[in-house]
Each structure stands twice: as C-alpha cells, then as structure tokens.
Amino acid sequence: MADNNEKKSKPVTNDKEKKSGGCGKKKQVKKETGLALTHKKDENFGEWYSEVVVSSEMIEYYDISGCYILRPWTMSIWEVMQTFFDAEIKKMKIKNCYFPVFVSESCLQKEKDHIDGFAAEVAWVTRSGKTELDLPIAIRPTSETVMYPYFSKWIRGHRDLPLRLNQWCNVVRWEFSNPTPFIRSREFLWQEGHTAFATKEEADKEVLEILELYRRVYEEFLAVPVVKGKKSEKEKFAGGLYTTSVEAFVPNTGRGVQGATSHCLGQNFAKMFDIQYENEKGGRGMVWQNSWAYSTRTIGVMVMVHGDDKGLVLPPKVASVQVIVVPVPYKDADMQAIFDACSTTVKILTEAGFRVEEDLRENYSPGWKYSHWEMKGVPLRIEIGPKDIANKQVRVVRRDNSSKMDISTGDLAEKIGDILENIQQSLFDAAKEKRDACIKVATAWEEFTTALNEKKLILAPWCDEKEVEKEVKAKTMGENGACKTLCTPFYSARTSRRNPMLCLREACKGVVILGEELLVPPQNVIPVSDFWPFVVYKDFLAIPVVKGKKSELEKFAGICPKYWAWGTRCNLPIVLVRILPRCLTYNIENEKGGRDMAWQNSWANSTHTIGVMVMVHGDDKGLVLPPKVASGQVIVVPVPGKSSQQLLMRKN
C-alpha cells in the first residue's frame, strides 16, 4: 500500500486546467533570464515537475485542458520503448492491427461492469457540424468493446486460435481531477494487446509473459524499479477475471504509480460478445481472453524518479541524444580546429552506434550550453578545447553524478560505451536503493499510519476483503487524498511465505501471508519441490495434474473463509494442504514463557491415485503401467525353437 496516486496534487496542476470546458489557458511556467529551475524537487515537487517537463522540451501545454503536445524529445523515448516491445511481442506471434477510435453506444454498453468502470471518463461525439447525431458516438477509453464484436466474427474453429492482436494508438479518458503531464491526461498514447485462447492455461501463461516485458521496459530501459503483483478485486480491471501489474514508487511524494497492467479477462467478454469456437471434437466452447497495456505514463514516472534540481536525467538506453559534444573556445585559439575535432568525435561515436550530436552554436557560451543539455538530461557531455586537442584527449562529464574524466581519443568509443552502461546501471541502483529504503512492513494499524505519514511504501497483511480495503481508504482520507492498495506482490524477500498473521484491520479475523504469490498459474505459493503429491502423480504415475484452490463451497469443512487451501486435482483425487482455523489450534507455551496458539495443516493421499492411473493409461488390451510403479518392469518369455531369449518390454 502507498499513498493513492489519485490524491490531489495541487502544486502539479494549474488551477485554470481544472476547468472541464473545452478550452483552458496555457500553463504559465515562471521564466528567468538563466536556465536554472526556480523550484526544488524536495521543496515543491509538483511545481518542480511541471517546470522540468516544459523546460526540458518534453511537452508543451495545449489550449484544451488536460491535453499536452508531446515534443520530439518525448517521442524519441517512446519510440525506443516501442521498438523493443514491438519486437518482443512479434517473437510471441502477436500481430499489429488498428481499429477505429469511435465506438457505438450499443457496443460500449454491452458489458455493464466494464462500462461502469469507465462511464465517468468516456468522451462522446454528439454533433456533426451543426447537426445533432441520432445516436451519440463514444471515443474509445479502451478497445475491448471496439474489437470483440469482430473477434466473434473471425473466430469460428480451433484453427482460428489463438488470435493475438496488438495496436499502437491513442485513447481518450476525460479526466476531471488534477490533470498532470504523462501521469493523468485526457488523451495519451499506448499499446493495447487483445488475445483469445482455447484454454485458460494459455491465457494465464501470456499474462505473466507480458508482465515480464513490462518489467523489462521499466527496469532495463527506464532504470525504474517496479514490483510485480496481482491487483485486488476492488482495483482489478472492470469486467475482468484478475489483473496483474507492475507498480512504481516515487519516494519524494510517497506515492505509488501503476506502471502497466496485464489482465486475464476470463470468459466474461466472450459470453457478452458470443466469441465461440468449435473444438477438435466438434463441440462448442467459449474462448479465454487477455488484454494488456502500457502508456506514455512510463515517461512521467521516469522523470519523477530520476530528475533533479538541474532538470531531466535520462537513462542512456532511452535518451534521444546519448552524448553531446561541446567546443570550449579560448582566446586566440584555432576555433576551426576545435570545431573539426568535435565533428570528428561525433563521426567516430556515431559510427560506433551511439546517438551523438554536437553543439556548435556560436551565440551561446559553453556554460550556457552545459546548463541547457543538463536540463534536457543528456547522459554524457564531451568538452573539447585546445589543450584537449594537443593532448589527444577529450573531457567527459556525466549527467547523473557530475563526475569528470579525461579519455584518450584512441579508445574513445570503447570507453564511452563502458561509461554509458555504468550510468544506466547506476541510475537503476540508486533508484532501487531509495525505493527499498522507503519500504516498511507494518503489522499493526499504528505502524501502518505512522509509515503512511512518513511517505513509505507499506507492505502489510490483509485478508483480501473489499470492505476492509474501503475502510482503510476512508480512514486515511485527508486533504491530499487517501491510501489504496497497489498490488499483492508475487514475491517478498522481507517476509516468510510460511508465516501466517492476522489482517492489519483489528476487527478482521482473516489470516494472510505477506508477499503472497496469488492464483496466477503457473506461479504458485508452494514450490513444486515442496509438494510431494506432484512427485507422486507426475514422476511415478506419469499423470499430469493441476495445482489450484478449492472454492468456498468445496473447501475442507472447518476452514475459516479466507484461509488458503492449496492442492492438486485430477478428476477424482484431491490432495490439499490445509490451514485449520485458529479456534481449533492448540494452546502452547512460546519461547518467552507466554501462551500462544499453534498453526496446523492436514493433508492426505489415497488409493484413488491407482484408479486414476488405470483410467488415464489403460487401453483395449488392458492395464498399462508406468515403470516406476510396476511390480514387474520387464517380463522374460522363453520362445521354443529359438536359440536366444526374446525380451518383451512394457508398452511405450
């Protein structure tokens, strides 16, 4: 949990932008004669952010509130991420397409839960010229209802599956509360993937594969650490089965930011839009669907995490210009020779594959140029003066830590490559160190509220009940917003998976485990190596099994509602690891001499296993035994009239 990234952010937003009308006034950023920022990141984060994204030439404010012009400095970053992600999804056989921006009201209203989640944000076209339309047309807030009528048309049989599409496009969500460049805008760029499968296992697998790509975008390209996890029922995608996400954190504000989401939609949309297929046996089935997306919000997170009081700080992998070369003139120096040296340096580094530019403008001083390119976040600056030419070297200055070094021109390309790699890693390491220092484990309400006031990212036990989540949000509501859940992390190095504890809310008796890996196959709470029934079925009986959680109706009698029961299932046999309710545990003496309750498990296997083996492997000749459990693995039969014995092996 962390402070809600929806909380009011008065400093970030111009009051004039809060007007919901079509035209607002352009954002006015205070101008100075120099290049220095007028606000400090630690003192006034909101105004600092607004100033950085404009002064670094990333965006310009538009005359419609909540809309922004993305300048080339921004688009180049987006294109780097797009190139990486597009190549990766094509390896997964996902194809690009494009659907219209408009969606009819009838399609939009078809999935009630879905549209209810977006109703307040949908923008409508109601007039053509001066003529009122007979029916209003929505501008897509997302494309499920745009695309799925055609999935129903295109998918007829199992040979049409999987259908895996992606589109790079813009969407409109008419935000009314505190528009913020990149983070919360009324129009933004994104990619959205929409896929359909014959089985849930295929859908589950893709959800996690895409989530890993999103992690790589943030951590490998933007150098921003994120947490992978599963959203709560309250926060999941409207109409979906479950939602996974990568969550970033901004230490200066104490706010979590949803970085990207990968949803399993289940079969809900398939039922609404009648997306059926004929299977191999001639039967009919509903497809399983996913949708997943990330947007230009990624860029805003990067600015917030890495930027400093000098301006933008760009990771080398996404920087439009990785190296800027600046001539340093001196009195009576041969300026043409210095310019030629700069041009030669640019040529050498460009041929080596780096993105390099030179700033040869004569109407600006070197100091002004240094500040300008630092504001724009260029990772590395090369300075060349007459002494550098004489010594056959260049002066290199890093943007991330301002360190300087002289490098010989003889091995320039190799050294520059090493430095850029080091900058990329250093930015990630520094961001991760700051993020990790803000993580606080809170197991009591007092610890929770204290950590929240200290702008911490809180890891807390919770029973997964919507009402508890609503209560926490209500109790933490203040002038600057409220606390909400970000996700339940798939992994947590700070807590034991086998260490149950009571929910953070005192009145709740549910038991939870911090950092749980949730019901997202193939990820599971208990490793296969720790789960002996899998060894029995898979390694001995040669039977594939599925590990899962029983429903509330089917669970073992006596288990409290939110206690987890994990196990395997293969038609008949069910093997469960059960956590028994606290009221049935034994009172024992702890290490300090006090009294406490013991925690219990129960688990069982039976001769059902043998019956399943017979059903699965047997054929019209009779029994077929896996060698590991066969009483006789090999039978030797004498054949009269032959000089040698013939071995009849078990059937393969």
Question: Please, which residues have CB within 8 angstroms of residue 483's CB and are 6 or more apart in sequence?
Answer: 1, 2, 3, 4, 452, 458, 472, 473, 476
Task: Quote the percentage of the chain above a pLDDT of 90.
Answer: 54
Q: Higher-confidence residue: 422 or 607?
A: 422
Query: Alpha-carbon torsion 477, 478, 481, 486, what sign?
Result: negative
Burial class (CB in 10 A: 0-12, 13-18, 19+), 85: buried
Say what the pTM is: 0.74
Task: Look at the block and give the residue holding tokens 């209500």.
Answer: 474
Task: Look at the block and give the residue holding tokens 């047997």.
Answer: 618
Written as one letter, the residue type at 237 is F
Burial class (CB in 10 A: 0-12, 13-18, 19+), 582: middle
Distance of CA 147 to the CA centre of its chain: 23
The Cα–Cα gap between 627 and 79 comes to: 56
Residue 178 pLDDT grade (very low, low, confident, very high; cuts 50, 70, 90): confident
Over residues 597-619, mean pLDDT? 77
DSSP bridge partners of 59: 70
State the Rg of the chain over Cα: 30
Phi, psi (5° rounding) for residue 450?
-65, -45
Q: Higher-confidence residue: 376 or 32?
A: 376
pLDDT exceeds cutoff 90 at 113 = no
The Cα–Cα gap between 455 and 476 comes to: 13
CB 225 within 8 A of CB 428: yes
Q: How many CB atoms lie within 10 A of CB 646?
A: 9
How many residues in the chain? 652
Residue 388 pLDDT grade (very low, low, confident, very high; cuts 50, 70, 90): very high
Distances (CA, A) of 562 to 491, 500, 581: 20, 12, 10
What integer pLDDT is reported at residue 111 of this predicted model? Answer: 60
Distances (CA, A) of 67 to 1, 79, 126, 184, 599: 30, 20, 20, 10, 55
Whether residue 136 has a cis bond before it, omega within 30° of 0? no
What integer pLDDT is reported at residue 595 of this predicted model? Answer: 59
What integer pLDDT is reported at residue 477 of this predicted model? Answer: 84
Among 49-63, 600-614, 635-649, the minimum mean pLDDT is found in: 635-649
Q: Higher-confidence residue: 533 or 395?
A: 395
Over residues 302-307, mean pLDDT? 98
pLDDT exceeds cutoff 70 at 645 = no
pLDDT tens per residue, range 625-636: 889 888 778 888
CB 255 within 8 A of CB 5: yes
pLDDT exceeds cutoff 60 at 61 = yes
CB 559 within 8 A of CB 511: no
Over residues 144-165, mean pLDDT? 95
pLDDT exceeds cutoff 50 at 364 = yes
What integer pLDDT is reported at residue 531 of this predicted model? Answer: 43
Among 68-82, 164-178, 531-545, 566-580, the minimum mean pLDDT is found in: 566-580
What integer pLDDT is reported at residue 545 of this predicted model? Answer: 73
Give the 3-state secondary structure of residue 30.
Answer: coil
Question: Please, which residues have CB within 8 angstroms of residue 620's CB and are 6 or more apart in sequence?
Answer: none
What integer pLDDT is reported at residue 549 of this predicted model? Answer: 66
CB 223 within 8 A of CB 424: yes
pLDDT tens per residue, range 471-489: 888 888 876 677 888 998 8
Phi, psi (5° rounding) for residue 174?
-80, 75
Among 210-219, 259-268, 410-419, 613-622, the minimum mean pLDDT is found in: 613-622
Nearest to 46 by CA among 187, 250, 249, 189: 250
Number of helices followed by number of strands (H, E) in the chain = 16, 34
Task: Quote the percentage of the chain above a pLDDT of 70.
Answer: 75
Among 11-25, 32-46, 71-85, 315-329, the minimum mean pLDDT is found in: 11-25
Assign domain 439-516 to its CATH architecture.
2-Layer Sandwich (3.30)
Highest mean predicted confidence (pLDDT) among 104-118, 236-250, 492-506, 616-630: 236-250
Burial code of 32-54, b = ≥16 C-beta within 10 A, e = fewer? eeebebebebeeebbbbbbbbbb
The Cα–Cα gap between 28 and 38 comes to: 13
What integer pLDDT is reported at residue 495 of this predicted model? Answer: 44
What integer pLDDT is reported at residue 459 of this predicted model? Answer: 87
DSSP 187-235: EEEEEEEEEEESSHHHHHHHHHHHHHHHHHIIIIIS----EEEE--TTT
pLDDT exceeds cutoff 60 at 527 = no
Distances (CA, A) of 561 to 98, 369, 550, 554, 598: 45, 64, 11, 12, 19
CB 141 within 8 A of CB 122: yes
Over residues 553-572, mean pLDDT? 41
DSSP 103-165: EEHHHHTSSHHHHHHHGGG-EEEEEETTEEEEEEEEEPSSSHHHHHHHHHHH--BGGG--EEE
What integer pLDDT is reported at residue 642 of this predicted model? Answer: 52
The Cα–Cα gap between 551 and 422 comes to: 50
Q: Which two tokens stand for residue 544?
A: 């594939």
Nearest to 367 by CA among 379, 375, 377: 375
Question: Please, which residues have CB within 8 angstroms of residue 199's CB and are 6 or more apart in sequence?
Answer: 288
CB 2 within 8 A of CB 442: no
What integer pLDDT is reported at residue 469 of this predicted model? Answer: 84
Q: How many CB atoms lie within 10 A of CB 158?
A: 14
Whether residue 561 has a cis bond before it, omega within 30° of 0? no
First to last CA, the chain: 54
What integer pLDDT is reported at residue 264 of this predicted model? Answer: 97
The Cα–Cα gap between 288 and 161 comes to: 10
CB 157 within 8 A of CB 275: no
pLDDT tens per residue, range 244-279: 999 999 999 999 999 999 999 999 999 999 999 999
Distances (CA, A) of 2 to 49, 132, 258, 461, 482: 20, 46, 11, 14, 9
Q: How many CB atoms lie within 10 A of CB 69?
A: 10
pLDDT exceeds cutoff 90 at 449 = no
Over residues 555-562, mean pLDDT? 49
Over residues 107-122, mean pLDDT? 71
Domain spans of the chain, in order of start: 45-306, 323-424, 439-516
pLDDT exceeds cutoff 60 at 343 = yes
Q: Which two tokens stand for residue 269?
A: 């949309």
Maximum pairwise Cα distance, the chain: 111
pLDDT tens per residue, range 164-176: 999 999 999 886 6
Burial class (CB in 10 A: 0-12, 13-18, 19+), 186: buried
- What residue spans of 56-104 are helical by DSSP H? 72-91
pLDDT exceeds cutoff 70 at 124 = yes
* Annotation: CATH topology of 323-424: Rossmann fold (3.40.50)
The Cα–Cα gap between 156 and 152 comes to: 8
Phi, psi (5° rounding) for residue 259?
-80, -40
Over residues 15-32, mean pLDDT? 43
Residue 652 pLDDT grade (very low, low, confident, very high; cuts 50, 70, 90): very low
Q: Which two tokens stand for residue 200?
A: 């849930």
Per CATH, the number for 45-306 is 3.30.930.10
Whether residue 141 has a cis bond before it, omega within 30° of 0? no
Among 301-310, 440-449, 561-570, the minimum mean pLDDT is found in: 561-570
What integer pLDDT is reported at residue 23 of this predicted model? Answer: 45
pLDDT tens per residue, range 183-222: 999 999 999 999 999 999 999 999 999 999 999 999 999 9
pLDDT tens per residue, range 229-239: 999 998 999 88
What integer pLDDT is reported at residue 506 of this predicted model? Answer: 59
pLDDT exceeds cutoff 50 at 351 = yes
What integer pLDDT is reported at residue 633 of this predicted model? Answer: 83
The Cα–Cα gap between 219 and 429 comes to: 10
Average pLDDT, the chain: 81
